[in-house]
Structure 1
Amino acid sequence: MKLKKLAHLIALIGVVSPAMAQQAQPQQTQQTLQRVEITGSSIKRLAKEGALPVEVITFEEIEKLGIVSAEDLMRNIAANGTGADNMTSGNNVFGADADRVSGGASFASLRGLGAGSTLVLLNGRRIATHGGSGKAVDLNSIPMGAIARVEILKDGASAIYGTDAVGGVMNFILKTNFTGVEVSGSTNVTEAGGGTTRRASVIAGKGSVDTDGFNVMGTLTIDKNDRLDSRDRDFANGFQPARGLSPDTTGTPYANQLAGTGTALGANFVLPGDPNRYLQANPLSFQGKCDTVPGMSQYQTELWKDVTSPLRSKYSCSYDYGADYVIQVPVQRANALARGTIQIAPGHKMFIEAMGSRTEATSIFTPAQISTTLGNGNAYPVGGPYYQDLSPYISTFDKTKPIIYKWRASAFGNRTQLNTTDSARVLVGFDGAFGNWDYKFGVSHARSKTQTELLDGYAYQAKMFTALGSGIINPWATGGQTAAANALIESTKFRGNLQHGNTKLTQVDGSVSGELFKLPAGAVAMAAGFDLRRENYSYTQDQDATVIYLAPGNARLPEASRDIKAVYAELIVPVTKQLEVQLAVRRDDYTTVGATTNPKVAFRYEPTSWLLFRGSANKGFLAPSFVQLYSGSLDQELPNGIIDPIGCPANPGNPAYCAISRLEYKTGGNSNLRPETSKQGTLGFVIEPFKGYSASFDYFAINSEDRILNRTPQVVLANAAALAGNIIRNADGTIDYVQAGWINAAGNKVRGADVSLRGSGAMEGGYKWAASLSGTYMHSFKFAEIAGQPYKELVGNFYTRDLYLRWKHNASISLTKGDWSALFSQSYGSGYKDQVPNAGRGIAPSGFNPEIDAHTTYGLSGTYKGIKGMSVTLGIQNLFDADPPFTAHNVDEVVGAGWDPRAASPRGRSYSVSARYKF
């Protein structure tokens, strides 16, 4: 349904509903109930099912489900995307589109529109974005021990909150007015080993605002997550060639020799009776012994060769580096919150809130892959003690010349980073009421800093090249290096602070809401407010990253700032006793990208007490971030074997065009970026045929334009004709480098529906039961990378950024009697089509299954509250120990060897224990 039709339908319902309402009975209003502000509106009102779809998850539900992290929480929300905004994907640097400076961070991505399109609030107000990437709020900075509930608005909300709210809003509501002392602790242990998580929390408060006129409270939460390695899980296996999966890399611990003019192999080599010209060789491959070195295997040419240029060597070994990933990052985290509230007059409160957090995440990558060259002086010298003679296998091998090679430099150790993120916010606020008018006002300052320290596995490039060219280091060692070689390697290493990023947010906001006047159907309520913000971001290199081999991170960005001025207004108009309409508009003015005005209209129509219709139509926008606008140019390198889609067909068989070994590309900001815009809406109903039974269905549609995306070099090459200006060529026509970076892409067209089912009741014997299901059906997610190109359907298909599953849901059923309760839960994600080996250029083996299975897990927990002030919960997550579904995707493009961390957790069956005691 087109958005214009959706808006017309909303208007039509508004016209015909008064006639329908004459047949309906008015709903009784509970005036004694407290008015509250619900996410998606600035008007306080009685809590009830509203015009917008809002999902609420309580702290007790989080505890019973065994959710141990913000990432687990997002996996439990069906409307959240199935993408790479998780720690496992963030702990690996493959793919130019990866966020390389968000180690240890977790982000929300409602509707799969990206972390930047989901607004994360804390008690309805903004907090600073992640200090490293600056793209979105790190959910790990939220004090989980102080959460009362999480409200998820599954609709665009730029008319209420401004930028970032295209996909929706996550509002973390903290406990307030807490009295007493409560201590809690939990642990979650995996059955297969590794990845244990622990949490300890204390919250204390004194005084009641209503009776004592004050309340002070504080909370401290400490988390520790242990490391989990791919080697700890059997399903993390990247060498399953019969199923279409094998490593597409020749950077091996036992190095592969490379061809090149002036080297021992020459520009290429041939073998008797074989017309192909090969570029790599390994004696273990000739002997059929690649698998004698742990993690290595014979390179599977038939899976990865290009039919137009069969130069990839079948005489090379490959390495399953995907099975060396750390798939749960070791993390230590502390969150603290202090809040004081005082009643300065009857109905008027002032509060001061201070929040701080520190997250230390140790990112551990596989050892560096090194390709040596003659020009860098790092070739293995003739006469070196470990010189490798391949003349028994290759007649043209010239042992009077040096060797160049590709080596997974395990002797240098795993590349290890410590990412420390410190976040803080101080807020002074006032709220209260004058009669039927509510007000709130706040002044806040928030900041986040991420410091990256290199602990091991990184070396000064010049020193490393010199060391490799000395011949002392053995790239073909199977039993470790000599003492002299280890000492030389150690002398090349860099350890220390590499880079740090800072974000700052200073905000002054205020609003009033109340009743304007009465209509026959009720009072017209309104809200009006302002939002003044200054945002700052800087990214600084503590050490020149260009002198450190494969140093991670982004280019330096001197401190940039922008001011945002916004005003907004909202009306709720009761057209009849059964129909009300919400009207909202907001204008934001950015000093960097200009002004934008975004309206919203929504309705709530309740013809009977058991049936509710609702819908909305609105516009949204997403302002480009500082990184997207201003980050400097960063030089990087693509994997071996890149094909020039224009040059190779014109020069078939020429490795300079058809198997480029070291192709450089540049990334960076784009100061000409425009804000991303959207038009979107929802239309649905809520039905409650019997007391305790309800169902809701909400159709959503989102059209985005000028989407802000990082143009990867692969995308540039795949669109070589349209983006020819981004492919910089040498005088002879070969590619010098590819200019990648941020662009305004064409956009998205998204269609789907959210479904919710709930029921509860009583049984004989004093038992009470409750059941629920929350699911999202994705009908269509169409995407166009380049303006003018046709939109491609992504739902149910493999994609390198996000997966768009046809159906996801989380369901549960609970049973309670007295002090005992039990919860049985299910999480489901539908299957999708796998990536065909070598993007379809290879010939998939007979064992390749193009369909990836659906993934279902179950959980079971029991809670006992029979001891005064105490609650104990025991749980089993992934009750039947279901492995993630197999996928044959290329690990160079998406993390996960034989599985996909976007679609499933690697933990397996785990056991949780949590306890709370209040005194």
Structure 2
Amino acid sequence: MLKKTILVRSLSVAFGGAAVLAAMPAMAQQQAGENVQRVVVTGSLISRTDTETAAPVQVLTAQDIQRSGKTSVAELLTDLAANGAGTLGTGFSGAFANGATGISLRGLTVGATLVLVDGHRVAPYPLSDDSQRSFVDVSSIPFDAIDHIDVLKSGASATYGSDAIAGVVNIVLKKNMTGGRVNVEGGGTQHGGGQTYRASIGTGYGDLDSDGYNAFITAEFRRQDAIKTEDRDSYDWDNRDWRARGGNNINLGAPVQRLDANGKPVSTVGFLTHASSPFLYNPTGAKVNGSAALNPANYQFLDSNCNFNKYMADDCIVRDTKGFIQPKTQNFNVLAGFTKKLGNDWELGLKASLFRRDSLNNRGMGAVYSPASFGGNTTLVNGVLTPGVNRIASTLFAAGAPVGGGGIVNNLGSPARLYGYIPGVDGTNTLDNSSKTTRFAADIKGTAAGWDINGGVGMTEVKSDINYSGYIDRPALYSALNNGSFNVLGANDPAILNMVSPHFSNELTSKLNYLDLIGSRELMQLGEGPLALAVGTHWHKRKQNSPPADRTLTGQVASTSAFVIGDETNTAVFAELQANPLKSLEAHVSARYDHYSSYGHSFTPAANFKWTPTKQIGFRGGIAKGFRAPNPAEVGNAGSFFTFNAIPDPILCPDGKTTTAGNQINACAIAPPYVQITNKDLAPEKSTSYNLGMILEPVKDLNATLDYYHIEVKNQIVTAAGNLPGFVPNFVRNAPAPTEFSDGNGGTYVATAAVGLPAYAQSPYVNTGSTKTSGIEADIGYKWRMGEMGTLRANLSAAHTISYKQIAADGTVWSMAGTQGPSVVGGATGNPKDRAQFTLGYIRGPLDVSATMNYTSSFSTLDPSVGGTSCDSSAADVGGRLYFQGVTQPANYCRVSSFTTTNLNVVYKLTKDLSLRGAILNVFDRQPPIDVGTYGNASAQTAYNASLHQAGAVGRFFSMGLTYQF
């Protein structure tokens, strides 16, 4: 009794004991063991006894989650059949919102899917997807804190407001707990790396019915080790040498070559990456086979272990030993709750949670000398770019001039460029990302004056601390090289290394506080049932403070994270009417009015129906308006750099062909950096969605739903580059430099053009174009009760995209279903037409076995919306990858194969309270198919789709665990 009193008092103090407003609806189904009662389900404001609603809702129970064999919510939700193009996974380590995971229902990006916790809005991740789209990081939410997850696959802005265009994911946390539970488990991959450990404990006291209260606390620890790219480089999708596949060897140190029939280099397109042994290269020297880069006389290797003839040898190249397929992460999570019956049907619920995630994310090989592509840093402040800050006068070393310390001089007789790995500096640009999510929420519900009252108030915050390492302060580097204080062969003073490659950090915060109040009641009898009304109001204040890192602000270091500083206030009122004019017909009409401080107001109505002429068959459908409000990243003080598909320089290579006389060869496939500019005059995106479905239960224990959807999103907020027809960026160019030009006869010559290559271009956000998508989603479940032989259950969830069309402002229509696109808004994460998840389970006595198969269909690597219409060049056209630069891309790389993985989970109850669990993920060790069009993967080395095929890159994974309940 003493323990109970201490726990209750502690939780009461922690929450402040305030009896304040409670949960917005969508609080979902009742806890097991409660008496059958009316509940509010996701997508409606009015309570009901039938949980099969007029809108399609997929429910993942706590038992479903445990049977999945997964160890994180991010992994679980990524496999949803309805999750499509634009999904953000932890394998996409080069993303703006690195380390986080976001869900993209119907392939309409993470910005069009609203994620709620307990039916309430929460603070989004401080870094936006593609520096633009706000989303909730689901990777920080622990397994053991979840009661269930509702996935509403329907437009729901009339109920929930902005962002609910494609649907809603409502993660419902535990409401109460009695007794205790301890869980420990561990596992690892067959091919190395990825060891995972998880432990959790929870305990609760008090019975709501008999004691009038319940108090509980649960804590979870999870650690997942990294999988490096070198752990998988025996597979083609993780091998840089593409020569055996008809392409180039893009290992660090290899020029981008064309090869003859005997595999000998006959010409080069220039240097793609840089060798481990530092060397000087004379770009104006004598040519061999039309190229100066193939003449050994133009090289001066500064390390005697390497020379031109050993240029391709293993000891003369840099392997990517730091790149991550899966980042190292560590989670620590605590959830505490207290529920108290107040009398007269009133109930108070209080929750507090702290979810912390630490991850190490790779950004690619960066600590190399790369003067050819560097023309001086720039400063990005308040969306305005100031060029030439800390600019370097020249990156060439004159003939006879010293090159750093150690007595090394340029002996090539002409100005030369320095290439190679920078000694003593970690060869990887990395971001140690620590994210802490805190949430305090109070719920109250009861009845007053004939109204059922639900209210809620809460404070949420996500704070991310990023530590940068491996980045190069270019002005400091060339200053040290020119004054002789930096030795290119190593043995440098730590103080010099810290100056050249400084360690620095940044703090980012995102806050959202909310207030919800809803009242509902039956007004009168109408037809075969009551006419019910629900009315409510919502308010939230959001602040985002994600400033640029100080070294980026001063122009010393480039390519860190984007920045966003801004806020928004939203006030809304909404209502819903529900009626049963016929016994078999249920009708809903709802509407919402929102006012945003960032742009103005939106009005979004919706109507739904469900008709069940018999118990075996029913029909449902609806129409809904929706919107996505412009967020601080789009209208506030924000800025970022981005690149996407390769394009020809309009001046230096106007026809895009390296064989045309007078074309600068290295200008025919450039991926220029763009500076993203905000636009305070943006209007919200607007959508109209339709759905029509069937609900079938022909026999007992067999149920199925089949739903058709059609969504049109207009007035889309996109960057002008790649989306606004006729948009010609104003390139800011580097100074001209000697380089190779085509002579039109298969050879090259060295010259200096009138203009240099682009340094960057500006691209503002604009409202333009639209997207139309339609598809069919099915959920089928069957339970076969076999008496003493046990129970067999089968569930199929499948989604088929009928059409996905992107319409430009000039009326041009691109069909995206089954392609890589739209890569500009989807991160080239792929847009397969079909995804499915099939689960087969068997229970007999203490044995519970589940097998889950996840299927993703094939798709092409083309993206016509960015000009990627040729199988000869889709790697460069769409993903900007240079696997086949200078050669014709083989036709078999124009398509990404289908991918299926099977997961097995087995639970055996050793005793009433002790259970043993074993799981194998990717049982058949399926490797991911090669995808040359994506850039949404672990690094430039890998050629697989991390958003769709991450399980294949991880490989077969084994885990075991024990659970004890008391």
Q: TM-score range by the shorter chain?
A: 0.7 to 0.9
With 645-654 and 405-414 compared, the bigger mean Cα shift is at 645-654
Distance 2:353 2:487 in 1: 52
The question of whether the paired residues in 2 share the 8 Å contact of 1:354 and 1:424 is answered with yes
Seen in structure 2, the aligned counterparts of structure 1 residues 813 and 636 have a Cα distance that, compared at 3 Å, is closer
Conservation of the 8 A alpha-carbon contact between 1:81 and 1:113:
yes
Give the CA deviation at 1:330: 0.8
The separation in 2 between residues aligned to 1:789 and 1:589, in whole angstroms, is 31
Q: Which shifted more, 138-147 or 115-124?
A: 138-147
What's the offset of the Cα at 1:705? 0.9
The reply on whether 1:507 has 2:514 as its aligned counterpart is yes
Residues 1:331 and 2:329 aligned together: yes
Residues in 2 aligned to 1:58 and 1:702: alpha-carbon distance in whole angstroms? 28
Q: In 2, distance between residues paired with 1:43 and 1:635? A: 46
What residue in structure 2 maps to residue 478 of structure 1? none
- Unaligned 5+ residue runs, structure 2? 1-33, 251-255, 257-270, 376-391, 405-409, 736-753, 863-873, 879-884
Out of 61, 65, 69, the position equivalent to 2:68 is 65
- Structure 2 SS opposite 1:904: helix
Residue number in structure 2 paired with 1:109: 104
Deviations 1:537-596 (A, max 9, x none): 1122452314575444446544x3222110000111112001111111001001111000
> Quick check: 1:127–1:446 contact (8 Å CA) kept in 2?
yes
In 1, distance between residues paired with 2:762 and 2:354? Answer: 40
Are 1:55 and 1:152, in contact at CA under 8 Å, matched by a contact in 2?
yes
Deviations 1:884-907 (A, max 9, x none): 112333759985613221221221
State, as a whole percentage, how many aligned pairs show the same letter: 27
Note if 1:766 corresponds to 2:789. Answer: yes
Root mean square deviation, CA, Å: 3.3
Deviation at 1:808, TM superposition (A): 0.6
Structure 2 CA distance for partners of 1:277 and 1:662, relative to 1, 3 Å: farther
Residue matched to 2:703: 694
CA distance in 2 between partners of 1:822 and 1:635 (Å): 49
SS, match of residue 396 in structure 2: coil
- CA gap of 1:643–1:847, structure 2 versus 1, over 3 A, is closer
Note the alpha carbon deviations across 1:19-70, whole angstroms, 9 max, x for none. Answer: xxxxxxxxxxxx9731111111111111331111100111222222111122
Q: 1:875 to 1:661 in 2, by over 3 A?
A: closer
- CA contact under 8 A between 1:265 and 1:398: conserved in structure 2? no
5+ residue gaps, structure 1:
1-30, 93-97, 297-318, 388-396, 476-480
User: Does residue 430 of structure 2 align to residue 403 of structure 1?
Assistant: no
CA distance in 1, matches of 2:121, 2:511: 11
SS at match of 2:74: helix
Q: Determine if contact 1:443/1:508 at 8 Å carries over to the other structure.
A: yes
Matched, 1:458 2:471: yes
Q: What aligned pairs does 1:182-197 form with structure 2 within 5 A after superposition? A: 182-197=181-196
Task: Give the aligned partner of residue 481 of structure 2.
Answer: 468
Distance in 2, matches of 1:223 and 1:275, equals 54
Letter in 2 for 1:796: G
* Contact 2:112–2:164 (8 Å) recurs in 1: yes
Of the structure 1 ranges 853-862 and 273-282, higher mean CA displacement relative to structure 2 is found in 273-282
Contact 1:467 1:489 in 2 (8 A): no
Offset, 1:531 = 0.0
Contact 1:253 1:409 in 2 (8 A): no
Find the partner of 1:867 among 911, 936, 953.
Answer: 911
- The match for 2:628 is 622
Letter matched to residue 767 of structure 1? G
Which has the higher mean CA deviation after the structures are superposed, 571-580 or 656-665?
A: 656-665
Instruction: Confirm or deny: 8 A CA contact 2:184 2:199 kept in the other structure.
Output: yes
Is 1:756 the counterpart of 2:779 in the alignment? yes
CA distance in 1, matches of 2:765, 2:272: 30
Q: How does 1:379-418 map to 2 (within 5 A)?
A: 379-380=396-397, 382-383=399-400, 399-409=412-422, 411-413=424-426, 414-418=428-432
- Indicate the residue corresponding to 1:299 in structure 2: none
Task: Number of aligned residue pairs: give it.
Answer: 829
Structure 1 distance, partners of 2:717, 2:111, is 10
Bigger shift: 604-613 or 536-545? 536-545
Structure 1 counterpart of 2:835, from 808, 811, 816: 808
More off after superposition, 435-444 vs 802-811: 435-444
Equivalent residues in 2 for 1:247-646, closer than 5 Å: 247=250, 250-254=272-276, 264-266=282-284, 271=287, 274=290, 289-293=310-314, 296=317, 325-368=323-366, 369-372=368-371, 375-380=392-397, 382-383=399-400, 399-409=412-422, 411-413=424-426, 414-434=428-448, 437-454=451-468, 456-470=469-483, 481-484=489-492, 488-497=496-505, 499-541=506-548, 543-547=550-554, 550-554=557-561, 556-558=563-565, 560-634=566-640, 643-645=648-650
3-state DSSP of counterpart to 2:511: strand
Q: Which has the higher contact order (CA 8 A, sep 6+)?
A: 1
Paired position in structure 2 for 1:791: 813
Q: Using the alignment, how far apart are the partners of 2:564 and 2:813 within structure 1?
A: 34
Instruction: Give the match's secondary structure for 1:355.
Output: strand
- Quote the residue 1:23 is aligned against: none
Deviation string, structure 1 residues 851-906 (Cα, Å, up to 9, x no partner): 22110111222111241222322111111111011233375998561322122122
Aligned equivalents of 1:579 and 1:241: distance in 2?
65
1:166 aligns with 2:175: no
Instruction: After superposition, give the CA deviation of every residue in 1:391-419 in whole Å (9 maximum; x if it has no partner).
Output: xxxxxx98233311444546421222211
Distance in 2 between residues matched to 1:76 and 1:244, nearest whole Å: 33
Look up the match of 2:55: 52
- Name the structure 1 match of 2:3: none
Opposite residue 42 of structure 2, the aligned amino acid is T
Q: Secondary structure at the match of 1:645?
A: coil
Q: Which amino acid aligns with 2:763?
A: A
CA contact (8 A) 2:688 2:711 kept: yes
Structure 1 position 746, deviation (Å): 0.7
Identify the residue that residue 963 of structure 2 maps to in structure 1.
Answer: 916
Choose the corresponding residue for 2:920, options 852, 862, 876: 876
| Contact 2:549 2:560 (C-alpha < 8 Å) held by counterparts | no
**In structure 2, C-alpha distance between the alignment counterparts of 1:882 and 1:433, rounded to whole Å:** 56
Q: Which residue of 1 aligns with 2:203?
A: 204
The residue type paired with residue 620 of structure 2 is: R
With 676-685 and 721-730 compared, the bigger mean Cα shift is at 721-730
Report which stretch shifted further, 141-150 or 272-281: 272-281
In structure 2, relative to structure 1, the CA distance for the partners of 1:646 and 1:372 (3 Å cut) is closer
Question: Following the alignment from structure 1 to structure 2, what is the Cα–Cα distance between the partners of residues 892 and 690?
Answer: 45
Partner amino acid for 1:496? F
1:36 is paired with a residue whose SS is coil
From 798, 813, 818, the counterpart of 1:775: 798
Preserved CA contact (<8 Å) 2:648 2:670: no
C-alpha distance after superposition, 1:359-401 (max 9, x if no partner): 11112333314422695444345446779xxxxxxxxx98233
1:420 shift after superposition:
1.4
**Which secondary structure does the structure 1 equivalent of 2:818 belong to?**
coil
Give the 3-state SS of the residue equivalent to 2:340 in structure 1: strand
Task: State how far apart, in whole Å, the 2-side matches of 1:293 and 1:326 are.
Answer: 21
Deviations 1:656-703 (A, max 9, x none): 993598955322322222211111111110111111112211001110
Report if aligned partners of 1:244, 1:847 keep a CA contact under 8 Å in 2.
Answer: no
Report matched runs for 1:135-150 at 5 Å: 135-150=134-149
Q: Compared with structure 1, are the counterparts of its residues 340 and 273 closer, same or farther at alpha carbon in structure 2 (3 Å cutoff)?
A: closer
Q: Give distance in 1, aligned partners of 2:396 and 2:334.
A: 53
The one-letter amino acid of 1:627's match is: A
Cα contact 1:711–1:742 (8 A) shared by 2: yes
Q: Name the CA distance, whole Å, in 2 between partners of 1:226 and 1:673.
A: 42
| Residues 1:126 and 2:136 are matched in the alignment | no
Contact 2:856 2:948 in 1 (8 A): yes
CA shift, 1:633, in A, is 4.3
The CA distance in 1 between the partners of 2:88 and 2:517, in whole Å, is 33
- The answer to whether structure 1 residue 658 and structure 2 residue 667 are counterparts is yes
